[in-house]
Structure 1
Amino acid sequence: MSAIPYHHPIGILPDDIDHMGHVNNSVYLKWVQEAVVRYWESLAPPEAVARHLWVALSHEIKYRRPAFLDDLVVADVIAEKVEGARAAFTTMIMRGEEVIAEVRSNWCCLDSVSKRPARLAREIVARFLPSA
């Protein structure tokens, strides 16, 4: 499938740095959460954004290289698949052309009022996966 990618700049803060002098592993989860939600907000229509919330079901992170305070880092996110209320995303944390972490995550879309799983309409899914 031909997914629409999203490029999310990341700012590394002094509090992100651990006792070993690089970005703490837990910070990557914060980055992925922010990047996937911004991806949703950038492509979904405003009424769909207001009507839906996303919760993470799982993350698998492969750390390739450490990140440091002065690094310029971005998260490149793509939707891999959407089935019903579930969606799979891949997020590549990049420093220039170098992959510093690869994250595969599964998410569940919720109705913002009932907080119950909500299937996404086909036309909304098509904004992320045009060939779906």
Structure 2
Amino acid sequence: MKPQVFEFTVTVASEHIDAQNHVNNLVYLEWCLEAAEKHWSRNATNQLLNEYVWFVLKHEIHYKAQAVLGDQLCLKTWVSSNAGVRSERQYEIYNQKSGKLLVQAKTLWCLLRADSKKPTAIPEEICNLFVDE
């Protein structure tokens, strides 16, 4: 089985630009979080969405090139591993026109029960949501 890759596109708008006239570093992080949320929301059942929440333990981002106003970007994300209560999610952000890799990132997530906010082992049902056979 291989990880299921989730993709979406975004166009760089003026609110994404910082004083250096390129996409602000925090915006890339926001897009990564948005990609993770969209992937989870698309794949999870209503029951799973109500029973569980994800909390971030750690982010790691490598900036390779910049994006500027008007660029169309392709964001890709996938779950690379699950162990116990932790799940690691990878991200890549590309300039859609040139195909150039702009950002590589990963986030270590912890699965919590929504009602108690206590960490819980990731059930097989959730692991299977993010793989292609």
Fold similarity call, TM over 0.5:
yes
Assess if the C-alpha contact under 8 Å between 1:52 and 1:110 holds in 2: yes
CA displacement at 1:130 relative to structure 2:
5.1
Q: Find the residue that maps to 2:102 and give its secondary structure.
A: strand
Q: Which runs of 4+ in 1 moved over 3 A?
A: none
Map of 2:122 onto structure 1: 120
CA displacement at 1:11 relative to structure 2:
3.9
Assess if the C-alpha contact under 8 Å between 2:92 and 2:104 holds in 1: yes
Assess if the C-alpha contact under 8 Å between 1:37 and 1:54 holds in 2: no
- Which segment drifts farther, 3-12 or 26-35? 3-12
TM-score normalised over the length of structure 1: 0.91
Task: Percent identity, please.
Answer: 27
1:74-129 C-alpha deviation (Å, 9 max, x unpaired): 21001001112210011001112211000011111111111111222212211213
Q: Find the residue that maps to 2:23 and give its secondary structure.
A: coil
Give me the whole-angstrom Cα distance separating, in 2, the residues matched to 1:107 and 1:33: 11
- Which segment drifts farther, 83-92 or 3-12? 3-12
Matches within 5 A, 1:24-39: 24-39=24-39
> What is the aligned-residue RMSD (CA, Å)?
1.5
CA displacement at 1:66 relative to structure 2:
0.4
Map of 1:40 onto structure 2: 40
